[in-house]
Structure 1
């Protein structure tokens, strides 16, 4: 055991950090999506006039992927082999939905996509290191 693993900062801690990032990102997605299910109307001003856009359907999809990412983060905590592929399958649609809703909540979308991306990178590095052993 090297010094980084004894201090808890090495490869052994990657899944724990990834699980925390996934759970945080999923909670942010779920809470913001819940708010958009109640008040999901936006006014869009164009050269032709002002239009109201209702994001109710997208908000429910966003809520579903947010809950899925939270569950995937909790599954990663269990340390099961199937948790990493499940996390990838849950996070990739969440990133797509966040990017599609970027014009309506850009700051939240950037933060959540960054958290999800960092978690995916940590999981991929951990999975690759575990296969190399």
Structure 2
């Protein structure tokens, strides 16, 4: 190593990358569990959701419930792969977090505060999965 790179730089970067991956896995698991609960609430036709008759994207709440339930289950399964540091899980995690953002944006009028929270959580998942990538040698691409 050169004088510009202290001896523990790669170790610190690797620890930072592992921490971000664990953060993304926990956040994705939480977002998935919350999506599952939201899906169950909508399928049960609970009175928790708002009725918005003049919204551009109008679908039945039961349909939204199934969409959020399916996205939640997939998110939880992908988070298990993230805990094992699988590359496929990192790619799939970004994809499912993006789908969760889209689904929550489209269902924003039905439960606005919850949708904003889920969009924010999924945004943090995407950030954590994209900010740092580890290769097999344990090095980090962050400079």
Instruction: Mark yes or no: TM-score above 0.5.
Output: yes
* 1:80 maps onto 2:86 in alignment: yes
Aligned to 1:104: 110
Q: Which residue of 2 aligns with 1:132?
A: 141
Which residue of the partner structure matches residue 12 of structure 2?
5
State how 1:61-72 maps to structure 2 within 5 Å: 61-72=67-78
Q: Which has the higher strand share?
A: 1
Shift of 1:131: 6.4
Matches within 5 A, 1:19-38: 19-38=25-44
Residue deviations 1:22-51 (CA, integer Å, cap 9, x gap): 1111111110111110116754467xxxxx
Whole-angstrom CA distance in 2 between matches of 1:12 and 1:44:
43
- Offset at 1:76? 0.7
Q: RMSD of aligned C-alpha atoms? A: 2.8
Count of paired positions:
125
Structure 1 or 2: more helix by fraction: 1
TM-score, length basis structure 1: 0.80
TM-score under structure 2 length normalisation: 0.75
Alpha-carbon distance, 1:128 to partner = 7.5
Distance 1:45 1:100 in 2: 14
